[in-house]
Amino acid sequence: MQKFSFKINNKDGKSRTGVVSTAHGEIRTPAFMPVGTAATVKAMLPESVKSTGADIILGNTYHLMLRPTAERIANLGGLHKFMNWNAPILTDSGGFQVMSLSQIRKISEEGVQFRSHIDGSKHMLSPERSMEIQHLLGSDITMIFDECTPYPATKEVAEKSMHLSLRWAKRSKDAYKVRSGYGLFGIVQGSVYEDLRKESAQKLQEIGFDGYAIGGLAVGEGQELMFETLDYTTPMLPEDRPRYLMGVGKPDDLVGAVKRGVDMFDCVLPTRSGRNGQAFTSKGAINILNAKYKDDTAALDENCYCPACKNYSRAYIHHLVKSKEILGSMLMTWHNLQYYQNLMAAMRDAIDKGRFEEFENSFKEAYEN
């Protein structure tokens, strides 16, 4: 079986291209992971997701533990088989959803006790249980269980939260079952405080992980502060491990983060926005619900080769989305995922050719005008 590894191919400034090797295949970096929360990327067949160029998708511990349960998925052959995705899967630990979705929650040293947002049933999610669930799912990349620090947070609150996450990180590592081809990622916390981020990064490296994520960003701090935090956090992480910025983001967020040395991303934005009528294009985002598109015979994006752009007009997609037809969600989602994968491929190409700055400038010019 393929060992879990990360190889850097080329660098241009702080940005880099590489390959993460896993039990279920290789991930070209920088990589964008479409979000398949409940074992499905909404409105997409797995084959359609693959056709956009996605090497990996993200599944969610919280949602899958509640429905249909990790034990049931394991009995049915694991998440890859269950959802017909024979490529890498990363699962987040459930920490964010416990904080944002569950109805009543109580955080203790043990973990988080909460009531399901679906039926009110009581559950306890601890580092050990999160590792168990992700193992049952068969995740290629498992995330440690951490507390998602709210924003804004005082330094005292952020420090307390970060220290709890570090203790949970150690317990996650101890509970994780090592298998060839599978990896465990630590998550750096510390809000927007440089010294806290430094302490978190150093102590996580002492525990030792296969990759390192940057958590607690894209939670309301704004792009400028996010980039400022990345400017000092990314260099604190080991060169020879993948770096993953969680829950990010808009196309210009991705370009700015790749420039600062980030390798992996996930975000619901392309899928959720697609279902709500926003299309990302090479000339910026458009709202297909606008009346000006009802007679527009042009493609969503003349520079895109997805089925939505090749075969349908803006006028038709405007009609579908306005009528709340399922096909509207499908075509818009397909296009947005294709746009994101095209963006990642263009960044990888620019880095390999030593032209990332040139790419960034042309991207900004096209996207902001």
Q: For this structure, is 146 an active site residue?
A: no
The residue annotated as part of the active site, out of 92, 146, 210, 253, is: 92
The residue annotated as part of the active site, out of 146, 210, 253, 266, is: 266
Q: How many CA atoms lie within 13 A of 211 on its CB side?
A: 29
Would you say 61 and 134 are in contact if contact means Cβ atoms under 8 Å apart? yes
> Is 266 annotated as catalytic?
yes
What is the C-alpha to C-alpha distance for residues 247 and 11, in angstroms, rounded to an integer?
Answer: 24
Look-up of token digits 């895109």: 304
The packing angle between helices 326-352 and 251-259, to 10°, is 20
From the CB of residue 303, how many other CB atoms can be counted at a distance below 10 Å? 12
CB 242 within 8 A of CB 264: yes
| Two tokens, residue 255 | 């370009």
Query: b/e for 141-167, b at 16 or more Cβ within 10 A?
Result: bbbbbbbbbebebeeeebbebbbbbbe
Task: Report whether 26 contacts 19 (CB < 8 A).
Answer: yes
Q: What is the 3-state secondary structure (H, E, C) of 78-121?
A: CHHHHHCCCCCEEEECCHHHHHHCCCCEEECCCCEEEECCCCCC
Q: Which residues are catalytic?
A: 92, 266
